[in-house]
C-alpha cells in the first residue's frame, strides 16, 4: 500500500573522512554492498517500488549505482563474474529511482521536506541508510507497513538504548497500546543527559502521513539550529496518531565507526558467507 520510500542522503559523513571526501557515505560498503542498497532492499521487501533519494553535492556515485553500467555489463557478460551483478540488477528492475538535490543542509526535517515533490500527497516511508536493520523473516519496514495498514497513523521505529546514550537520538514517551506499540505523547531530539523522557530511541525508519509536510513548513529550527523531524512529529502527535513501534530485528549504527565494523562482521558471518 505504501509505494514510496524517501532516503535523505545529502549528509557529509564527516565521521568517515577521508573515505567520504569524494564518495557519498551511503555508498560505504558493508562487505560487498553499499549501505543504501541494504535500505533499498528492505523497502522493496516491504512492497515499495518508488525510491526517492534526497541528494546533495558529490553524490553522482549514488545515481550511477542504481543504473545500468553498459561497459561493465559488456565486459563481464558470459563470464562467471556476471552473477555478481544479479542482486543489483534485480533491484534496478524492481523499483524506480528519482532524485532531488537538497541545496542547503538544514537538518533531517528540511531534507524530508525537500523530498515533498517526489513523494506527493501520499503516506511514505523514510529510511536513514546509516541505520542498518536486519531481521531475517520480515524486514523492519515490512513490519511497519503492516502496522500502517492497521492503524493508518505515522509510525516511528524505536529501540531501548542505555540511558547514557539517549542524547544521540530522538527519544519518545507515550502510552503503551500493546507490548510493542506506544501512542506517542512526548518526543525530544537529542535530550540533555537526565532530561530524556524514556530510554526509547528513534531509529532511522519512519512511515509518515503526508500532513507532516505542512507541519514541517512551519517548524522552526530546533536542536543544533536545524529543522528537526522530531519536532514536527511531536506537533503531529497532538492529533493522537503518531505511534512508536519496537521493531523485531537487529540494528547497527553505521554512522559510527564501531557500529560500522560490528555490522561488517555480522553481515560477513551471517549473510556473505552463507
Ligand atoms: C536522526 C534523528 C534522530 C534519530 C536518529 C536515528 O539523528 O534526528 O531523532 O534518533 O537520526 O539514527 P542523526 O543520527 O541524523 O543525528
Flag whether pLDDT at 258 surpasses 80: yes
Q: Which residues contact 101 (CB under 8 A, 6 or more apart)?
A: 10, 54, 55, 56, 57
- Predicted confidence band at 106 (pLDDT cuts at 50, 70, 90)? very high
C-alpha cell, 40: 533499498
Flag whether pLDDT at 58 surpasses 80: no
Mutate to test the pocket of ligand 1, among 9, 14, 108 (most ligand atoms within 8 A of CB): 108
State the Cα angle at 87 between 155 and 35, rounded to 5°.
50
Measured by CA distance, the residue closest to atom 10 of ligand 1 is 169
Which has more confidence, 81 or 59? 81
CA end-to-end span of the chain: 32
CB 122 within 8 A of CB 212: no
The span from the CA of 55 to the CA of 111, in Å, is 9
- Determine the distance separating the centroid of ligand 1 and the alpha carbon of 269, expressed in angstroms: 28
Signed CA dihedral, 182, 187, 189, 190: sign only: negative
For the chain, which residues make up each domain, given as ranges?
4-272
The span from the CA of 257 to the CA of 125, in Å, is 26
C-alpha cell, 49: 517500488
- Determine the distance separating the centroid of ligand 1 and the alpha carbon of 172, expressed in angstroms: 12
pLDDT at 11: 82
Mutate to test the pocket of ligand 1, among 204, 206, 229, 245 (most ligand atoms within 8 A of CB): 204
Average model confidence (pLDDT) for the chain?
95
- Determine the distance separating the centroid of ligand 1 and the alpha carbon of 204, expressed in angstroms: 7
pTM of the predicted model as reported, rounded to 2 decimal places:
0.95
Rounded mean pLDDT, 44-60: 92
Rounded mean pLDDT, 124-148: 96
Do β-strands 33-34 and 29-30 pair in parallel, antiparallel, or remain unpaired?
A: antiparallel
CATH architecture, domain defined by 4-272: Alpha-Beta Complex (3.90)
* Residue 203 alpha carbon, nearest atom of ligand 1: 6
- How many angstroms from the chain centroid is the CA of residue 139? 13
- Determine the distance separating the centroid of ligand 1 and the alpha carbon of 75, expressed in angstroms: 41
Flag whether pLDDT at 14 surpasses 80: yes
* DSSP H or E segment with residue 109: helix 108-114
pLDDT at 253: 96
Residue range 108-123, pLDDT digits in tens: 999 999 999 999 999 9
The span from the CA of 240 to the CA of 236, in Å, is 8
196 lines ligand 1 (CB under 6 A): no
Measured by CA distance, the residue closest to atom 15 of ligand 1 is 108
- Determine the distance separating the centroid of ligand 1 and the alpha carbon of 170, expressed in angstroms: 6
156 lines ligand 1 (CB under 6 A): no
Amino acid at each position: 500500500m505504501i509505494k514510496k520510500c524517501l532516503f535523505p542522503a545529502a549528509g557529509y559523513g564527516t565521521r568517515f573522512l577521508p573515505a567520504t571526501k569524494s564518495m557519498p557515505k551511503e555508498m560505504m560498503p558493508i562487505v560487498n554492498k553499499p549501505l543504501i542498497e541494504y535500505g533499498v532492499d528492505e523497502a522493496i521487501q516491504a512492497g515499495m517500488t518508488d525510491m526517492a533519494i534526497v541528494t546533495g553535492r558529490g553524490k553522482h556515485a549514488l545515481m550511477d549505482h542504481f543504473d545500468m553500467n553498459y561497459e561493465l555489463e559488456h565486459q563481464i557478460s558470459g563470464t562467471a563474474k556476471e552473477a555478481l551483478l544479479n542482486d543489483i540488477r534485480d533491484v534496478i528492475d524492481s523499483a524506480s529511482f528519482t532524485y532531488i538535490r537538497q541545496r542547503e543542509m538544514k537538518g533531517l526535517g528540511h531534507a524530508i521536506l525537500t523530498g515533498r515533490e517526489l513523494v506527493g500527497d501520499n503516506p511514505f516511508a523514510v529510511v536513514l541508510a546509516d541505520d542498518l536493520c536486519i531481521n531475517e523473516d520480515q524486514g523492519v519496514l515490512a513490519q511497519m507497513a503492516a502496522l500502517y495498514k492497521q492503524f493508518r497513523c505515522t509510525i516511528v521505529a524505536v529501540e531501548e538504548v542505555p540511558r547514557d546514550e539517549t542524547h544521540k537520538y530522538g527519544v519518545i514517551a507515550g502510552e503503551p497500546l500493546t507490548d510493542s506499540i506506544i501512542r506517542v505523547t512526548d518526543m525530544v531530539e537529542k535530550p540533555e543527559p537526565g532530561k530524556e523522557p524514556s530510554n526509547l530511541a528513534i531509529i532511522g525508519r519512519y512511515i509518515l502521513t503526508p500532513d507532516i509536510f505542512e507541519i514541517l513548513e512551519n517548524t522552526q529550527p530546533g536542536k543544533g539550529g536545524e529543522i528537526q523531524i522530531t519536532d514536527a512529529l511531536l506537533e503531529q502527535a497532538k492529533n493522537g496518531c503518531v505511534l512508536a513501534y519496537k521493531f523485531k530485528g537487529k540494528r547497527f549504527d553505521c554512522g559510527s565507526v564501531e557500529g560500522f565494523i560490528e555490522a561488517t562482521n555480522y553481515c560477513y558471518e551471517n549473510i556473505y558467507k552463507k
